[in-house]
Amino acid sequence: MRSFSFTGLLCLVSIAPFLRVLAAPPKACAPKVKESVIPPRGWTQHGIPSPDHTIVLRIALPQPDFNLLEKHLYEVSDPSHARYGDHLSKEEVERLVAPHQDSIDAVDEWLRSYNIDSNDVHRSAAKDWVTVKIPVSLAEKMLDTTYHVWEHSDGDQIVRTTSYSLPENLHAHIDLVQPTTMFGRFKGLKSTIVWPDEAEAPPQLKTLVGTVNTASGAIVDASCNTTITIKCLQQLYNAVGFTPKILKNSIGITGYLEQFANIQDLQSFYAEQRPDALNSSFKFISVKGGLNDQNLSLAGAEANLDVQFAFGLSFPIPGTFWSTAGRPPFKPDVGTPTNTNEPYTDWLDFVLSHPSPPLSISTSYGDDEQTVPKSFAIRACASFAQLGVRGVSLMFSSGDGGVGDNNPNPATQQCFTNDGRNATRFIPLFPASCPFVTSVGGTVGVPEVAVSRFFSGGGFSDYFERPWYQEKAVKKHLSTLPKGTYKGLYNPKGRGIPDVAAQGDRFRIFLSGVPRMIGGTSASSPTFAGIVALLNDVRLSKKLPPLGFLNPLLYSVDSSAFNDITVGHNSGCGTTGFNATRGWDPVTGLGTPNFGILAKLVVQKGH
């Protein structure tokens, strides 16, 4: 029988987890700093939030068997392994990421000590995340910290702290608590320029060839040099004439930041570019109160772009669009009383709780990697791995800032470290830098070159080591760089991005009833996701499992499966960035897909 206080139990657990008898209760554990950061450039303290300001705390419990899940992921995703395609079920994954009961009990008792009732605690399906909604005044007591309102130079405001502490014994039972030290500015990855339909082509496109035989032998219409349509993508990527057969297939698009995919705009797009899809739509799912405002004037450029091209390219494969509530940079006033978490974690919680998520999913949003605490990035990345091992392919835009910030004015560039040194550094993007997702860069023109109006995000992660599947390709590229190139500006041992590329500029969409041109790697990711959905159809029609986590396959297939991009670069941080070269490069990855060849290769990789 326990005869000591809760705080005594906490201290006892960390010193002797199996001891059950004490001569006298130990002293309460002192708080110890769990995590601290230096505020990123551009953020300044603006004030103190109201004590009643609401925070939704997310508490991550350790996943002691994640190494086993990672082993499963690589085995079922490696086409040379006997288990290729043998994906795990939702329940099998949850067992692999579940925390030890000791951690659950320790966190529960800690919460109870602050009178947080179990009815007010939300748990993820695997119990590895605990969420509580509390006033900031209570959060400050629990975390031995002080929150402030922080304002960015562009006016965005968030409620954050630069350091938080936990009782020392709880450090072994809690990986992280957020929102605390996360200053990320979750953003859509599209060009800020939306051209009218009749806009003139940029000068660099006028120098490219019009109608041309691509590497696949397909002929591409000359108009694709100035306007990208579904027909252009089918021609460029050797998918003309292919019609999906398996309607049990699926594709999904994530939507954030009050981006609404407008159905009327989709019908206008289909009428012009995909008439056989006219009057079809997609499944809408609200996450955490995400809205679906169909007012034509509120249509989202990002959401419309993603939905129109991903679903238009993969029709008639059923599509899903998630609208996830939450906007991390916000004004903490009466109108927005709750400090939301980074919304892709809310989406991850939701989608992981469902037994059959779409098989190909595209996300066109991200943060600068260094503004995301490493502990948080690792845990979010682990959640992406959970989807991959279940047979889901995840695509993320690689970013539009080249190797960091392609602002031509050095005085306003943001390519500096957040570690207090303010050293110049290339800035990779997260989640694109996660090794368990497929990062998609951008190309333009016919024949394709690295996109040059904005710059295809690429480089090397500072958080994640280079995974085995890209070791050969990346090392080969690095060996071609002149000695000392950009020394100290990037991590040559880091995970290289992007993995692949697709067209990313001058996409013709319908927005608020009007045709528009738009660009960014936010166009590239849904395009590649559409191709992956078609490839899944090829496998499913042969009664083979879906592709799941793609990267081990992509880096192992014959180079003819990709249109190698060898022209262009990704400027940024006052440099010309990296060059597109033969083979993999940190601008366009392995290149753009050749569906015809990939369709033959994926059925050779059976299970």
Nearest to 215 by CA among 477, 596, 530: 596
Q: Would you say 572 and 368 are in contact if contact means Cβ atoms under 8 Å apart?
A: no
The beta-strand segments (E) located in 247-288 are 251-255, 283-287
Q: What 3-state class would DSSP assign to 302?
A: helix
- Tell me whether residue 102 is annotated as binding: no
Q: What angle do CA 448, 265, 397 make, to 5 degrees?
A: 40
Nearest to 150 by CA among 40, 288, 303, 18: 40
Q: Would you say 214 and 224 are in contact if contact means Cβ atoms under 8 Å apart?
A: no
User: What is the enclosing helix (H) or strand (E) of 111?
Assistant: helix 101-112
* Active-site residue (options: 103, 522, 524, 525): 522
- Tell me whether residue 241 is annotated as binding: no
Q: Would you say 223 and 446 are in contact if contact means Cβ atoms under 8 Å apart?
A: no
Residue 428, preceding peptide bond in cis (omega within 30° of 0) = no
Q: What does the block give as tokens for 28?
A: 């309460």
* Active-site residue (options: 128, 140, 306, 448): 306
Q: What does the block give as tokens for 75?
A: 């085995």
User: Cβ contacts of residue 71 below 8 Å, gap of 6+?
Assistant: none
Give the span between the Cα atoms of 298 and 296, in whole angstroms: 5
Q: What radius of gyration, in Å, describes the C-alpha atoms of the chain?
A: 24
The beta-strand segments (E) located in 61-156 are 121-123, 129-135, 148-152
- State the burial class of residue 335 (Cβ atoms within 10 Å of its Cβ: 0-12, 13-18, 19+): exposed
β-pair type (54-60, 338-339): parallel
Give the span between the Cα atoms of 261 and 298, in whole angstroms: 9
Give the span between the Cα atoms of 317 and 245, in whole angstroms: 8
- Tell me whether residue 564 is annotated as binding: yes
Q: What angle do CA 307, 380, 136 make, to 5 degrees?
A: 105
Give the span between the Cα atoms of 367 and 185, in whole angstroms: 6
Residue 522 bears catalytic tag: yes
* Active-site residue (options: 265, 302, 367, 499): 302
- Tell me whether residue 368 is annotated as binding: no
Binding-site residues: 564-565, 583, 585
Residue ranges at the known binding site for Ca(2+)? 564-565, 583, 585
Return the active site residues.
Answer: 302, 306, 522
